[in-house]
Structures are given as structure tokens and as C-alpha cells.
């Protein structure tokens, strides 16, 4: 097919091949195919299988425009491809954790993301850019979960595209991440451990509701125990169900130089 002019002429040209779609919908289709213009879409029409538009989601998202300059969340893609990079990063995080190590939740999260998770970015994979990863990011409350707040802050999220957020142009929680990873660090036994366990139970309730409602997304609950015997305990959530992930590794603490000294 000869290259068509960009702009209105391109819109008219591609419109003949995709009747019933307005210009915003066609722009959305072009961007979802990784094309830069409607002119490029004209070249590709008839040579690719276009992903179907969802009446209730895709057309609404095309009217809203781009989220921070990016396309809206591609709901047809599954997040299961994120399991390998997440689990690999968790394993390398624990293996490389200094002994001894003294830190809190945000210390562990920062080390996990900047030293390990971003190293798992691969071109063409579900995790293809560090720009997809966020720390302490607001996410909307899942349907069916009681609460007064419309959203809450999550330790680590992975978006389908770089630069995305949860909000639409009206600052409503509209978009959902492909993955949410909640962290807890247990430094000592006793009263603190009981509080941590209660927080973990709330995390599990949230991740269960989140993955039940957003069945293309995945959730993880991570517990790092920094006691006499250190361990990393991981639960994976999908379709409203949870299963323990065999990343759990224990190592007995030994004396060595602390990285802060």
C-alpha cells in the first residue's frame, strides 16, 4: 500500500479500512501498535491483526487521551510475564544482602528496586523500561474492598507502559498497574512482630481483592526477616488467590563489616 499523507488525509484513508471508528480511536490503535502516526497505520492496515476494541474500556480511554503522554493501560495483555523478572530480582536481592544488614522497609525497597529489579528490564518484554517502576505510588481501592479512602500507597508498582499513573484527567483512580509488590521487614520479635503480622494480613486482603478484580494483574507480598536466622518469604497473588513462591532462603547471620561503616 503506498504511503499516505499524515493528518486529515491519513485519517480519511485509514477510515475506509476501519469503518465505524472515530479519529481518537484510530490514534489509540496506532499507538497500541507502536506506530507514530495515522499515516503509518494506513501502511499497516490489512497487514496486521488489530486488537479488538473493548466498548466499555478502550473507547473510554481513547476519549480521555494519553496518560502522562502514554497510551492507556492495554487491558488485553497479561502481567504473568512479570513473574520471572520479579522473582529473579527477589532472589538476587536476598543473595546479595550484606551480612549483617540493618534497615527498615523503605531501605529494603530502595535496594530491591535500584540494585536488582531495574536490572531485569529487557527490550520487548513486559518489563522493558525502568520508567515502568514506581516506589510509594498511589493505587485505587479495589472493588469490593471496604474503606473510606479511594486509594492507598503501594511500596512498588510496575505499570504496563513507562510514565503511567493511576489518574485520569479528572484525577480519578482509573488505571491499574500490572503488578503490585508490598514489602515488610521484621527486625525483632515481640510486640513489633505482632504489628507487622497484622499489616501483612491487611496487605494480603488488599492484594486478594486487587487481583480478583484486575485479573490481568499480579501481586506479591514480601516479608524480609532480619533475625538470628534471616529469611525472605514471598506470596504471589493472582485471580484473587495466593500461593507461596519458592524463593524462601534462610541464612544464619555471621559477623562481618557493616556497609554503613
Res. 99 pLDDT band, cuts 50 70 90: confident
Q: Which of 212, 215, 149, 206 is nearest to 181 (CA)?
A: 206
In degrees, to the nearest 5, what angle opens at C-alpha 224 toward C-alphas 220 and 225? Answer: 145
The end-to-end CA distance of the chain, in Å, is: 66
pLDDT tens for each residue of 111-160: 999 999 999 999 999 999 999 999 999 999 998 888 778 999 999 999 99
Give the rounded distance of the alpha carbon of 209 from its chain centre.
16
pLDDT surpasses 50 at 254: no
Per-residue HEC secondary structure of 51-88 comes to CCCCCCCHHHHHHHCCECCECCCCCCCCCHHHHHHHHH
In the chain, where the domains are located: 8-64, 80-252
In degrees, to the nearest 5, what angle opens at C-alpha 40 toward C-alphas 39 and 45? Answer: 100
pLDDT tens for each residue of 155-176: 999 999 999 999 999 999 999 9
What integer is the mean pLDDT of 27-37? 50
Q: Which of 59, 124, 80 is nearest to 215 (CA)?
A: 80
Dihedral over Cα of 91, 230, 257, 113: its sign: positive
Q: In this structure, are residues 59 and 164 in contact, taking their beta carbons and an 8 Å threshold?
A: no
Amino acid at each position: 500500500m503506498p504511503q499516505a499523507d499524515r493528518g486529515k488525509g491519513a485519517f480519511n484513508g485509514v477510515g475506509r479500512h476501519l469503518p465505524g471508528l472515530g479519529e481518537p480511536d484510530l490514534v489509540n490503535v496506532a499507538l497500541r501498535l507502536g506506530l507514530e502516526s495515522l499515516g503509518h497505520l494506513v501502511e499497516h492496515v490489512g497487514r496486521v491483526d488489530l486488537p479488538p476494541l473493548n466498548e466499555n474500556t478502550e473507547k473510554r480511554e481513547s476519549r480521555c487521551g494519553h496518560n502522562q503522554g502514554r497510551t492507556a493501560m492495554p487491558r488485553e495483555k497479561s502481567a504473568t510475564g512479570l513473574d520471572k523478572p520479579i522473582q529473579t530480582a527477589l532472589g538476587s536481592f536476598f543473595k546479595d544482602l550484606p551480612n549483617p544488614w540493618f534497615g527498615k522497609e523503605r531501605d529494603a525497597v530502595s535496594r530491591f528496586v535500584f540494585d536488582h529489579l531495574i536490572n531485569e528490564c529487557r527490550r520487548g518484554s513486559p518489563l522493558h523500561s525502568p520508567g515502568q517502576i514506581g516506589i510509594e505510588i498511589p493505587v485505587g481501592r479495589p472493588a469490593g474492598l471496604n474503606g473510606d479512602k479511594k486509594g492507598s500507597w503501594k511500596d512498588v508498582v510496575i505499570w504496563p507502559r513507562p510514565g503511567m499513573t493511576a489518574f485520569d484527567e479528572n484525577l480519578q483512580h482509573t488505571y491499574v498497574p500490572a503488578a503490585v509488590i508490598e514489602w515488610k521487614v521484621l527486625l525483632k520479635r515481640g510486640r513489633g512482630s505482632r504489628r507487622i503480622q497484622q499489616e501483612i494480613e491487611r496487605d494480603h486482603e488488599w492484594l486478594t481483592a486487587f487481583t480478583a478484580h484486575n485479573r490481568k494483574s499480579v501481586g506479591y507480598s514480601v516479608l524480609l526477616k532480619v533475625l538470628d536466622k534471616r529469611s525472605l518469604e514471598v506470596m504471589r497473588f493472582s485471580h484473587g488467590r495466593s500461593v507461596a513462591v519458592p524463593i524462601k532462603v534462610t541464612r544464619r547471620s555471621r559477623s562481618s563489616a557493616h556497609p554503613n561503616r
